């Protein structure tokens, strides 16, 4: 089974939200040529290698970006907080039945993807959108118990959605997606970058069963000159470490305090 490879040139940034089989939008990235290529993400501690393949070539031109303008919205729509979000295990749901408070409650989706409700009993909800679940519960209640029931469903916590961040952040690890989350918001949740962090951040994502990657300059994102990408479940964010910064800080730590020259 073939895997997709996205090769990113230094200093170039490609938007994950608009990567698909037709091209790459956002800032121009290096072209992908041949049936196999390898993307390497350098950090001070390890080298992350992603090997992927596809036939043909991808060139990120302004024309390609224009033709993919709709792809961004479709990708973002699948994230937490969007109407097309699919409910998953451990998500926390708030269910309300109009004028029937006894049937309204907050429930957590079980590991098997089901919830248990009065009158209805156990029902599987995993893979449904909130609107689909509203219609399903209204039908079940209307068939036997209520006349034209009005049911509303809201996802309070997106606990089935997870993203991973590693590298030069203060609290690396696995974080739940609780609503729409951008790269800067996730970095803030980790309490920020460490002193030896690089400016460039790589996001690795599975798209249509294949692995793709994009590189962002965190300083440009903060200044607003580059987009702050929306993260999706399963994303892996890698914050690189500057070897020069690390070596300099190690030298400072090895010196007596008095020997470090401070500015006047």
Q: Are 221 and 203 in contact (CB under 8 A)?
A: no
Question: Which of 205, 201, 206, 208 shows the shortest CA–CA distance to 228?
Answer: 201
Q: Are 35 and 43 in contact (CB under 8 A)?
A: no
Give the residue-averaged pLDDT of 49-56.
Answer: 34
CB 157 within 8 A of CB 145: no
- Please state which architecture CATH assigns to domain 16-79+160-246: Roll (3.10)
Q: What is the pLDDT of residue 179?
A: 76
Please give the Cα distance from 47 to 118 (Å, whole number). 53
Going from N- to C-terminal start, the domains of the chain cover 16-79+160-246, 92-157
pLDDT band at 141 (very low <50, low <70, confident <90, very high): very high
Q: What CATH number was assigned to the domain covering residues 92-157?
A: 3.30.1950.10
Residue 71 in this model has a pLDDT that exceeds 90? no
pTM above 0.85, yes or no: no
Note the pLDDT of residue 222.
94
Q: How large a percentage of the chain has pLDDT more than 70?
A: 63
């Amino acid at each position: 089974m073939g895997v997709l490879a996205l090769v990113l040139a230094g200093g170039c940034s490609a938007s994950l939200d608009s990567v698909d089989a037709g091209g790459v939008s956002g800032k121009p990235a290096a072209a992908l040529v041949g049936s196999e290529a390898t993307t390497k993400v350098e950090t001070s501690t390890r080298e992350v290698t992603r090997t992927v393949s596809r036939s043909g070539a991808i060139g990120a031109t302004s024309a390609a970006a224009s033709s993919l303008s709709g792809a961004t919205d479709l990708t973002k729509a699948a994230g937490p907080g969007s109407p097309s979000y699919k409910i998953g295990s451990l998500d926390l749901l708030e269910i309300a039945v109009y004028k029937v408070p006894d049937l309204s409650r907050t429930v957590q989706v079980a590991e098997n993807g089901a919830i248990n409700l009065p009158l209805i009993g156990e029902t599987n909800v995993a893979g449904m959108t909130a609107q689909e679940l509203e219609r399903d519960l209204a039908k079940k209640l209307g068939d036997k118990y209520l006349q034209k029931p009005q049911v509303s469903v809201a996802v309070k916590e997106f606990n089935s959605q997870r993203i991973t961040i590693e590298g030069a952040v203060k609290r690396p690890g696995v974080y739940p997606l609780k609503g729409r989350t951008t790269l800067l918001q996730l970095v803030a949740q980790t309490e920020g970058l460490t002193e030896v962090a690089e400016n460039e951040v790589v996001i690795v994502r599975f798209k249509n069963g294949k692995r793709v990657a994009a590189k962002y300059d965190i300083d440009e994102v903060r200044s607003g000159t580059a987009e702050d990408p929306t993260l999706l479940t399963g994303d892996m964010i890698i914050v690189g470490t500057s070897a020069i910064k690390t070596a300099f800080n190690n030298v400072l730590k090895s010196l007596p305090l008095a020997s470090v020259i401070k500015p006047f």
